Amino acid sequence: MNNAAILIIDDEPQIRRLLQINLESNDYKVLQANTAKEGLLMAAHHLPDLILLDIGLPDKSGHQVLQELRQWFNNPILILSVQDSENDIVGALDNGATDYLTKPFRTGELLARIRSAIRNNHTSDNNTTVTTGDIFIDFVSRTVKVRESLVKLTSTEYDLLFLLAKNEGKVLTHQYLLKKVWGQSFQLQTQYLRVFMGSLRKKIEANPNHPKHIITESGIGYRFQ
C-alpha cells in the first residue's frame, strides 16, 4: 500500500471524479482543485507527492500555473490535456512538466506514468548506478555495460545517456538535450541529436531499429525506460 498524495487541478468534474475513483482504488490520497488559484493554494498547503495538471483552466493557463509551481515545487507534475499540438507538449516539458498525456487517456498508462514519476523522484538524486534490463550504468566511473560487456561510448554519447537515464521515464525535449550537451546556440540543431542517438542505440540496444530503452517521442524528444 502506498500513501502518496496526488493533487488534481482540473475544471472538469467528470474527469476529477474518474481520476479520484481510479487513484483511490490504487491507494493514493486524492486532493482536488477546479481552478488555478485553488490549485496553487492547495499545492502550497499540502505539498502533494505529484500533481495532475490540466492546461485549459478557466482562470489561468495551465502553462502559467506550471511555471509558477516550478519556482518552488520540485515533485512530479503530469500534464493531462486535450491540447495535443507539438508546441503545447514541448512548451510544457520545457517549462518543467515531468510528463504529458492527452485526453482521453488510458487509465493503465496513466497509473504507470504516475508510479514511474514518483519512484524516480524518490531515487534519482541518490542513485549512483542504474540497472535496467541488460544495461548497467555507473555514474561515478562513467562506465556502461550491456549484457555484462563493457561498452565504449564517446563523451557525447555518454552525456546523452546520462541525462536520459537520470531522468528515467521523463520525456526530454530536443531543445533540452541540445542545450545541455552542446550548448545554448545548438538548440535548433536536431540533426546532431538524430546522429548521436542513432549511434548510441547501435551500442546499447539489442535491436536499434526497434529500441526498448531509448524511446522516440515523435516531434518532441526522447524517453529512457
pLDDT of residue 25: 94
153 lies in the same domain as 220? yes
Quote the pLDDT of residue 126: 59
Other Cβ atoms within 10 Å of 76 Cβ, number: 25
147 plus 112 within the same structural domain: no
pLDDT reported for residue 124: 54
Residues 112, 135, single domain; the answer is no
Show the domain range for 156: 129-224
Q: Do both 89 and 191 map to the same domain?
A: no
Pair 15, 118 in one domain = yes
CATH number of 145's domain = 1.10.10.10
Q: Read off the pTM.
A: 0.69
Tens digit of each residue's pLDDT, the chain (225 residues): 568 999 999 999 999 999 999 999 999 999 999 999 999 999 999 999 999 999 989 999 989 999 999 888 889 999 998 887 888 888 888 888 989 998 888 899 999 999 888 887 765 555 688 888 888 988 888 889 998 899 999 988 999 998 898 888 888 888 888 888 888 777 677 888 889 999 999 999 999 999 999 999 888 889 998
pLDDT attached to residue 6: 96
Structural domains in the chain (count): 2
Domain end position, chosen among 63, 98, 123: 123
Domain-terminating residue out of 123, 149, 177: 123
**Do 187 and 204 belong to one domain?**
yes
Tell me what pLDDT residue 191 has: 83
Regarding whether 198 and 105 lie in a shared domain, the answer is no
Specify the pLDDT at position 38: 95
Q: Distance between CA atoms of 114 and 8, rounded to whole angstroms? A: 12
- Give residue for cell 546556440: 185
Q: The CATH number of the domain where 28 resides is what?
A: 3.40.50.2300
